Amino acid sequence: MEGDAEDGPLARAVERFTTSLRVDGPYRPPRPAEDPAVDGLVVAVLAACAGAPVRELDAAGRAAGFAVRRVGGRTLLVADPRTPRAWGLVVLPAVVGDPAPQVVVEIPHPHSDLRTERLGLGVLARLDGALLLQAGAHRHAGAPPGARRRAEFPADVSHRPDSVFARLAAGIVAAHGTPQVQVHGCRDRPDFDVVASSGAGPGSALLAEVTQGLRAAGERVRGGGEPGCERLSGTRNVQGRLAARLGTTFVHLELSRSLRADPARRAAVARVVADAVAATGGGDVRDGAYDRFA
């Protein structure tokens, strides 16, 4: 897992996918007739994490518009962002056989919240059991001209329970109680670099570890709901609300643009998140595996 920054095959594959996403790209949520295929995809992803044969995942992926590939020691499911079924990118754990991933690292706004996917890859490089769940379209894709209300943006998957992204997250969390860490980006603020919150639910040991680690790394961290951070706290987030209902762990991170643009700071945040997952019951952390994805 050592290597030059962002030079590995997995990083290149995810980066190519992410940079292909367009503001005016195609997107639509699944139609009712496609619900069985989406449900089958969720079941197949869970089975693949537990060690089921890849051919089963391949069949379920094709039915839902995903291609299955093996890249950099991990299995990827990739939808075609040039089509309206631009439903996502999933990177499975490097080590399968356990019933559940260590953590689901969620990137809901790729190529809109710039470089958030690189931070997600940094966490995966450190945690063999982590799963990456990334949206398959720009958050504004498929929106009508002049759209302004959140409901008018069908590809804003962190606020759309009908998205494949939301349904995959829900399936994994409901089946196993897997913690979620969701990464967003915000503009630079004069008095903080990160807003770390639990969304609609209560705090957690994972959130406390992440917050402490980020502060130790030199970042200025605010908590959810603090003055000036209310709109950055993820309280209306679909995945966060699911976690609150189920009593599972959800960590919502808003990272400043300057932080996301700095490879060393991105790597430090990825390290903090991975270490926090391991410290709160998510398994072992691999050393020396961040720099490739910084």
Q: Among candidates 6, 61, 84, which has minimal Cα distance to 70?
A: 61
**Predicted pLDDT at 283:** 47
In a domain, 294, yes or no: no
Are 100 and 176 within 8 A, CB to CB? yes
Structure tokens at 163: 């998205």
Chain segment 184-210, per-residue pLDDT in tens: 999 999 999 999 999 999 999 999 999
Are 281 and 137 within 8 A, CB to CB? no
In a domain, 273, yes or no: yes
SS3 131: strand
Distance CA 64, CA 34 (A): 8
Q: CATH no. for residue 50?
A: 3.40.630
In a domain, 268, yes or no: yes
In a domain, 4, yes or no: no
Considering just the CA atoms, what is the radius of gyration of the chain in Å?
17
What is the number of domains present in the chain? Answer: 1
Which residues are CB-neighbours of 107 under 8 A, at least 6 positions away? 113, 116, 117, 120, 132, 133, 134, 135, 182, 183
**What residue spans of 64-153 are helical by DSSP H?**
116-126
Distance CA 122, CA 11 (A): 9
Chain segment 161-175, per-residue pLDDT in tens: 999 999 999 999 999
Check whether 290 has a pLDDT greater than 50.
no
Which amino acid makes up residue 58?
D
In a domain, 155, yes or no: yes
Chain segment 1-46, per-residue pLDDT in tens: 333 335 699 999 999 999 999 999 999 999 999 999 999 999 999 9
In a domain, 292, yes or no: no
Average pLDDT, integer, range 245-257: 97
pTM of the model: 0.93
In a domain, 287, yes or no: no
**Predicted pLDDT at 7:** 61
In a domain, 289, yes or no: no
Which residue segment(s) compose the domain that 167 sits in? 9-142+151-282
In Å, what is the CA distance from 2 to each residue of 6, 8, 104, 109? Answer: 11, 9, 23, 28
